[in-house]
Every structure is written in C-alpha cells, then in structure tokens.
C-alpha cells in the first residue's frame, strides 16, 4: 500500500502543474486519495470522528491550496467531511438506541435492586440534541454511575471486562472507517456515472426539429445530445467555436462522428444566430450556492443573448460540481489567466511588447481569462444526476451534501 504522505504529495504536484483535465477527473481522483488516507489513518479510542475530520481537514487544506481555481477539489473534501459526520451520527444513534433498549429490558431488575440506577436521561437527551457533533459511545458510558457501568465482580471478571471494552473500542473504530469508506466508494461511483445519469434525461428536454446551441467542449453536453439522438430525436446543433482555445471544434468533430447535424459558428455570431435557436445547453465548471455558474469564458455573453430572445438557458452539471460557497466569498478564486500566446504571436507583436516607453511598461497588454460568471437570473434550469432543478432550489440541494461547519476547510489558527 503506498505511503499516505507520498500519495498526497504526488496528487498535489499534479494539481499545481494542471496535469488533470476536467472537473470530473479531478473530483474522482480527489475522492480516491481521501479514501486511501482514511483507510490508513489511525484513530484513537475516543472522539474518533473528530480525529478523522481533523486529518481530512489538514489534507484537504493542502489540496485546495494546490489549485484554488479547481473548485471540485474543495467540493469533494467537504463531501467527505459531511460523510464522516453523518456516519458518526448514525453509529451514535444506534449505540444510544441499544442502551435504551437494554435499560428498558432491565426495568424489573431495577425495581428490585435500587442500588443499581439506570442510564441517565440527561446523557441520552444530550446525545439526541447533538446532531452535528454527537458524543461518542465512550462519552455516554462515562456518564453512567460506576455501580451500573461495572457491577461488582471478581478480579478475573474485571480482567475479562477490560478486554471486552478494548475489543469494543477497536470494533467501533473499524466500524466507523468501514462505513465512511463504503460511503466514499458510493461517491466515487456517482461521479463516474454522472454523465449517464444526466444523459438519461435528454429525451425529456430535446424534441424533434429543434435547434440547440452550445459553447465549449463539455463531455456531459456531448453525452446529453447523443442520448437524445439515440432516442430517435432529429435536431440540429449550433456549436460556438470557443476562441481562443477553440474547444468547440473538438466538440463539433465528435458530434459529427456520432451522427448529429452540426453547424460551427463564430463566437461573435452568437447574438445573430440565437433567434433561430430553441434551447441553449451548456456545461459548467462549478455551480455556486446562489445558483450562479462558473463556466468557460464567453458563457455570460451566450446567457445574455438567450435572455434577450427568451431562449431557455439550460446548464448540465454533476452533483460533484455543486459548491456550497457564494461567488462573493473572498476565499473563492473565480478565475485564472491563461497564457497570452493563445491570443497573439509574440514574434508578430514583439515591437508592441517592448519596454522602451517612458513609463517603463509595455504599451500592449493581453488579458486571457479562463472562466466566466453567469448570474442565476440568466439560468432557466439545472439538470443534475438527481434531476432538474430551478436556480432558486440549488441552495437546498447543496444543503443535502454539505455541513455548514465544513464550508471553510482551513483550520483557524489561534495566536
């Protein structure tokens, strides 16, 4: 089994060098790295969930700092933290329920033996009230009076009881890690099949003789359109070329290979062609808590043109792209600048880029952003692997996958 630190450091290097393409691949690899870290993590006998959360927070902080623009990394870290909290609550509730049943079955003995009081109701109530960070089973047992928790036995009986408690602690530790790893495996499976889950809904949204406009090179969009084609839907696709990286060219080539009628248009022709379009279908880099979308550059222009001509603007995104942060949050780096070489030939424009001016700075500046922000009022519908949702519902959907305590992964330092 590879060393945990070596595995994390190798993944950090890949994130820093941008060697992982796409949010889906990044999310899947992040979940796999965290799964390996959980399986190798040693847990104490008490407060196991808190120790596991601290360990994942420490690793997650490093992963997020390696590439803050790739929001899928932070999303998966927060999802795993939420899984740990849920499994801890489930195990604690089961333990408290077992103690309550045991106390109820011994009611008759309690009436006969007053020197053995029952489990404190305050301890049970405290466990029920504590939903986000419930006490462990060991904490509950420590609240039981000594006469009840450990009845008078011989020395040999005490030794066997101590061994039993130690075995119970090890079993609880293995149970928590086993449940968390199983849940993370389900998360990885959901990420791997998100394209198929979204594509199954294509037939409900694309109809005969429609014209669909898209921008960028999203595999989710490609599978969505091809799924409608397989259901005998006849439609045409307008693909904006997506300068300066021209990702639309690759998408158009793939769609033609799959038998779809495709037309490539320039980005500047979007507003002129939008009046012929029945629906805009695009992918997303991330979906924020307010329903806003971080998408490839130029997407806001498409959304504005769609709103002006009353064309539905539909965004396809897997649940691993749902981000619990708001776009105005200073911790979220919404954009990154790509190389100017994608726009200009330095040999041709070298005379414009010299520093010979009196100000000491070049006269020509090149700005090449990678992403655009589309506000929620421009989005008509989100289609995720769980179904279609309005932008106003996204914050409730996000609440099902994240805990409020995990929105800020960075550990607060006390000076």
356, part of any domain? yes
184, part of any domain? no
Q: What range defines the domain where residue 401 resides?
A: 195-406
Quote the pTM value: 0.81
- Distance (Å, rounded) from C-alpha 204 to C-alpha 385? 14
Q: In total, how many domains does the chain have?
A: 1
Q: What is the CATH number of the domain that holds 364?
A: 3.40.50.10470
Q: pLDDT: is 130 or 84 the higher one?
A: 84
pLDDT above 90: percentage of residues in the chain: 62
294, part of any domain? yes
Model confidence band, residue 231 (pLDDT cutoffs 50, 70, 90): very high
75, part of any domain? no
- Distance (Å, rounded) from C-alpha 408 to C-alpha 400? 17
List 294's β-bridge partners, or say none. Answer: 286, 373
151, part of any domain? no
Q: What is the DSSP string of 11-30?
A: HHHHHHTT-S-SHHHHHHHH
Report H helices in 210-339: 219-230, 247-257, 270-273, 299-308
Token pair for 161: 């009881």
Q: Which of 106, 101, 102, 115 is nearest to 152 (CA)?
A: 115
360, part of any domain? yes
Q: Name 146's Cβ contacts closer than 8 Å, sequence gap at least 6.
A: none
First-to-final CA distance of the chain: 38
pLDDT digits (tens, 9 = 90+) for 272-286: 999 999 999 999 999
340, part of any domain? yes
Looking at every residue in the chain, the average pLDDT score rounds to 84
Greatest alpha-carbon span in the chain: 100
Assign 282 to helix, strand or coil.
strand
216, part of any domain? yes
């Amino acid at each position: 089994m590879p060393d945990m630190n070596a595995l994390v450091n190798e993944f950090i290097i890949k994130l820093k060098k941008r060697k992982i393409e796409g949010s889906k691949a990044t999310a899947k690899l992040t979940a796999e790295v965290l799964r390996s870290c959980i399986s190798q993590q040693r847990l104490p006998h008490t407060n196991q969930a808190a120790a596991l959360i601290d360990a994942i927070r420490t690793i997650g902080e490093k992963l997020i700092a390696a590439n803050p623009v790739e929001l899928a990394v932070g999303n998966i870290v927060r999802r795993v933290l939420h899984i740990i909290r849920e499994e801890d609550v489930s195990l604690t509730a089961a333990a408290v329920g077992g103690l309550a049943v045991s106390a109820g079955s011994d009611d008759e003995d309690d009436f006969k033996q007053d020197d053995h009081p029952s489990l404190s109701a305050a301890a049970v109530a405290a466990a029920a009230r504590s939903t986000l960070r419930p006490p462990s089973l060991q904490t509950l047992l420590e609240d039981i009076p000594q006469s009840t928790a450990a009845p008078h036995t011989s020395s040999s009986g005490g030794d066997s009881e101590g061994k039993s408690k130690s075995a119970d602690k090890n079993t609880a530790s293995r149970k928590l890690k086993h449940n968390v790893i199983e849940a993370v495996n389900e998360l990885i499976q959901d990420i791997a099949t998100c394209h198929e889950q979204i594509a199954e809904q294509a037939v409900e949204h694309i109809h005969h003789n429609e014209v669909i406009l898209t921008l960028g090179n999203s595999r989710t969009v490609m599978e969505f359109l091809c799924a409608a084609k397989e259901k005998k839907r006849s439609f045409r696709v307008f693909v904006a070329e997506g300068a300066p990286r021209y990702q639309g060219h690759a998408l158009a080539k793939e769609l033609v290979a799959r038998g779809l009628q495709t037309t490539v248009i320039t980005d500047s022709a979007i507003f002129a062609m939008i009046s012929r379009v029945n629906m805009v279908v695009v992918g997303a880099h991330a979906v924020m808590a307010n329903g806003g979308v971080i998408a490839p550059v130029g997407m806001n222009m498409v959304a504005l043109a769609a709103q002006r001509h009353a064309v539905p603007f539909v965004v396809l995104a897997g649940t691993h792209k749902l981000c619990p942060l708001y776009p105005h949050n200073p911790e979220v780096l919404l954009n990154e600048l790509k190389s100017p070489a994608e726009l200009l030939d330095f040999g041709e424009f070298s005379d414009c880029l010299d520093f010979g001016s009196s100000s000491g700075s070049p006269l020509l500046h090149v700005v090449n952003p990678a992403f655009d922000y589309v506000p929620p009022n421009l989005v008509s519908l989100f289609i995720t692997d769980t179904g279609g949702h309005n932008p106003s519902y996204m914050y409730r959907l996000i609440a099902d996958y994240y805990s409020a305590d995990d929105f800020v992964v960075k550990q607060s330092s006390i000076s």
